Structure 1
Amino acid sequence: MVQKTSTANGSPTANSWGAVLSMTLSVAMLIASEFMPVSLLTPIAESLDATAGQTGQAISVSGFFAVAASLLITTLVGKLNRKWVLMAMTACMLASLVLIATAPNFTVLMAARALLGVCIGGFWALATAVIMRLVPAEKVSKALAVMYTGQATAAAFAAPIGSYLGGLIGWRGVFWALVPIVAINLLWHWFALPSLPSSSRQSLKSLLSVLKRPYFARGIVAVIFTFAGAFSMFTYLRPFLETFTSLDVGMLSLMFLVLGCAGFMGTWLGGKLANGRVILLLKILPTVMGLVTLALLGFGHIVLIVAMLLGVWGAMNTAMSVGWMSWVSQNMDDAPEAAGSLIVAAIQGAILVGAAFGGVLLDHLGITGTFVGSAALSAIALLLIGSGRKLLKPA
């Protein structure tokens, strides 16, 4: 039996890092599961007799249910031990992957993605608050950076490996390959996570009271535009690379690998800036991502430049989560579960809106319209962040 990593009330001890690592693997699997359709968009669409824009809604539907789950999870689970709640979310992820791999039609695929959305929203809503209980206060930023290494890893390898393996074993085989990893992760939670009892019950009223804080409300709106701008482009990156840059499957995999590997740099950069210059980081993100998106339209026919631009975009993509979650931990430390629920709902809602918005533009205006729309959303996010003073908790 693995030694417990916390006291009965969930206080941190020196052995909590195994639990943090188990959550890191969950993050990697969540990211891989949620965004794998990006690298497999075309074959999934062809197999299920759907358009690329329609198949992109498979990301939107998971986002919709993630929004609902993130808002309701802390209310519905009440005082349940957070260890068992996190394990339930991981079990939902396992079930959704099996359903996706066996989906006979587009309807079943969407239902499976909805179940995945429940897992995503529930896990992310609790993750920051759980991390704050697993490690001492002075180690929270480090633990968050470790957890988001899972995001960087998935971003680096899930898309290129998914794209490559999809050409060898089909898109269904790619999702089957994730199943045993998630099953192992579920067992790891069982042994590594400490008992995390909850002594309080969140309510919708408590969520609203947090949202009434002006600096937090402004931050939430900025989050929505930042992530919507990013994912209205990212969701349809493969069609862009296929039609605009004219890449084959092998080069597609290489491009996704470049984009993903840059995420490790983004995680490092995010961790460094978030400690004392989180507002600077939040301003850099939409600025650079919007400019890169427009630059792709201008230089999209030059493979080398495309690779460089995707590397920059990939770094900013992983830094987004680190930056905004660090902002929450620094400015909402008195209500981490409520703030966590709301910001996760905002992020997932933004992914939903961004993917849907990009899909509509793709089907009606083409890929150029999708990318211009993405850059416009990023510009609005930058205006909302402004100098950053209005995003900070009053002294």
Structure 2
Amino acid sequence: MAAPPRLVILLLALAGFASMASMRVTDAMLPALSQAFARPVADVAQNITLFAIAYGVMQLAYGPLGDRHGTLRVIGLATLACAVGALGSALAESLPMLLLFRTLNGATAAAIIPLSMAWVGDNVPYEQRQVTLAHMLSGAVLGLISGQVAGGFLADTLGWQAAFMLLTLLFLGAGGLLLEALRRQPALSPPKADQGRIAFFSRIREVLLISRARRILALVFLEGIAAFGALAFVASHLYTRLDVSLTQAGLMVALFGVGGLIFAALARPLVARLGEPGLAAGGGVLMGLGFVGLALASLPVLATASAFAAGLGFYMMHSTLQINATQMAPAMRGTAMAVFAGCLFLGQSVGVSLGGLVLRLADSLWLLAGAGLWLLALGLAFAWLLRQWHGERATAATAS
């Protein structure tokens, strides 16, 4: 490689920070947006749904584009394009305009994290890959924390528009740095040989023909429905149930991301000690306890601890899904990882829509508790599948 992997991972973490901050920035400001546009929380929450739909659908384009033109080049250009959606959101004077630019933001942010994972899959040996992914994605986790906290804090102080202006500057900086690094060292993202017309759907079809790939994609879709769908409403739930400010609610929810940072710091010993099935099962248990705890918490300290447990559990299970996803289709890793991320965030869009429906019929307590039980069952099911796959691999190795 022409550049130290550490430099590339740092730049990808910076771009991932901006992407995830943008995705979660409106979680804690939903009550403020509801007041600004004189619409119910369920209506303004559509900005999260549309962001996630655009994010998921655009994976169909970015995966094959990354395979053909180089993952890092596509990431850099898409990061700069994110600034347009963020700036438009800041200047929106009506809810339809906000929804339009949030959709654009989701469509452009879609390239960043899945293609970053594809680059790691192409350049890091499998034995080191889960730890490397955890370290690189720590930038995305920091973005999740910062987006939730900054969204609530700025909505309380300077106004919700300030959060989007800050994101605009962040995207410009991250994209500019990445493209400058590519200009200095083009070997970081060499163009691949001409493969003719990009056959989007045939590439995706080849991934979907793989049995294990279908199972992994189904698992991450179901994970996105429950985890990210419920997470979008946690700050509003705490704001109402505990009678705290938006800033306080955002800080409590940010402990979800802190759980992810703790996992990134401890990834090596946790992977060695628990193995993939242990991480999946333990993650499911922690998410179940965490989301049920958030639903029932009567004190801020209990909500904070529950958010931390849910976040640690999510990253334990999700990183295990990621490492298996990098091996779904090694010959088309960019496409495979893009479809993987697309399923996650299409699941989020479905989850937010279902959450809005639940809120029209029942209290948010039932939404969060149901998500916790869903994720508990999902983690245990994934652990069972991993044991089956590892057994098949051991049998095949013995036979050969």
TM-score by length of 1: 0.88
SS in 1 for 2:326: helix
Q: Could you tell me which residue of structure 2 aligns to residue 323 of structure 1?
A: 320
1:243 to 237, 240, 245: 240
Q: How far does residue 76 in structure 1 lie from its aligned partner after superposition?
A: 5.5
Counterpart of 2:102, as a letter, is R
Classify the secondary structure of the residue corresponding to 2:137: helix
Partner of 1:152: 141
* Equivalent-residue separation in structure 2 for 1:126 and 1:182 (angstroms): 17
Question: What is the match of residue 9 of structure 1?
Answer: none
Deviation of 1:147 (Å): 1.5
Q: Which of residues 189, 192, 202 is equivalent to 1:198?
A: 192
Specify which of 41, 47, 69 is matched with residue 58 of structure 1.
47
Counterparts of 1:391 and 1:197 in 2: how far apart (Å)?
35
Which residue of 1 is the match for residue 59 of structure 2? Answer: 70
Q: Is the 8 A contact 2:144 2:257 kept in 1?
A: yes
Deviates further, 47-56 or 33-42:
47-56
Q: 1:262 aligns with which of 256, 259, 281?
A: 259
Q: How many Å separate the matches in 1 of 2:201 and 2:268?
A: 32
Per-residue CA deviation, residues 113-133 of structure 1 (Å, 9 max, x unaligned), is 111221232233322222234
Residues 364/345 of structure 1: CA separation in 2 closer, same or farther (3 Å cut): same
Are 2:100 and 1:103 aligned? Answer: no
Aligned residues of 2:290 and 2:308 also touching (Cα < 8 A): no
Which stretch of structure 1 is more off in the superposition, 97-106 or 162-171?
162-171
Q: Which amino acid aligns with 2:276?
A: V
Amino acid at match of 1:179: T
Q: Tell me if 1:307 matches 2:304.
A: yes
Counterpart of 2:291 in structure 1: which amino acid?
Answer: T
- The structural deviation recorded for 1:145 is 2.2
1:293-337 Cα deviation digits (max 9, x unpaired): 223333x11222222111211222344543321122245434312
Whole-Å separation in 2 of the counterparts to 1:43 and 1:252? 13
C-alpha distance in 1 between matches for 2:286 and 2:202: 37
Deviation at 1:73, TM superposition (A): 2.4
Residues 263 and 175 of structure 1, relative CA distance in 2, 3 Å threshold: same
- 1:182 and 2:171 aligned: yes
C-alpha distance in 2, partners of 1:79/1:244? 50
Shift of 1:62: 1.1
Whichever residue aligns with residue 22 of structure 2, its letter is S
Residues 75 and 204, structure 1, Cα contact 8 Å, conserved in 2: no
CA contact (8 A) 2:64 2:334 kept: no
Cα offset, 1:375, TM superposition:
2.7
Change over 3 Å in CA distance of 1:317–1:175 after alignment to 2: farther
Q: Deviations over 1:215-255 (max 9, x none)?
A: 22112111111221112321101121012222234532441
For residue 294 of structure 2, what is the amino acid of its counterpart?
L
**Partner residue of 2:277 out of 268, 276, 279:** 279
Q: How much has 1:269 moved relative to structure 2?
A: 4.3
**Cα offset for 1:90?**
0.6
Deviation, 1:284, is 2.4
Q: Which moved more, 1:273-282 or 1:113-122?
A: 273-282
SS at match of 1:79: helix
Counterpart contact for 2:141–2:257, Cα < 8 Å: yes
Distance 1:332 1:287 in 2: 29
Structure 2-normalised TM-score? 0.87
- CA distance 1:239–1:81, shift in 2 (3 Å): closer
Would you say 1:161 and 2:150 are equivalent positions? yes
| Aligned CA distance change for structure 1 residues 293 and 141 (closer, same or farther; 3 Å) | closer
User: What is the aligned-residue RMSD (CA, Å)?
Assistant: 2.5
1:122 and 2:116 correspond: no
Residue identity matched to 1:66: Y
Aligned AA for 1:93? Answer: C
Task: Give the gaps of 5 or more residues in structure 1.
Answer: 1-11
AA aligned to 2:41 is A
Equivalences for residues 337-356 of structure 1 within 5 A: 337-356=334-353
Residues 389 and 208 (structure 1 numbering): CA distance in 2 closer, same or farther, change over 3 Å?
A: farther
- Which of 266, 291, 294 pairs up with 1:293? 291
Q: Tell me the matched-pair count.
A: 383
Task: Give the Cα separation in 2 of the matches to 1:374 and 1:190.
Answer: 40
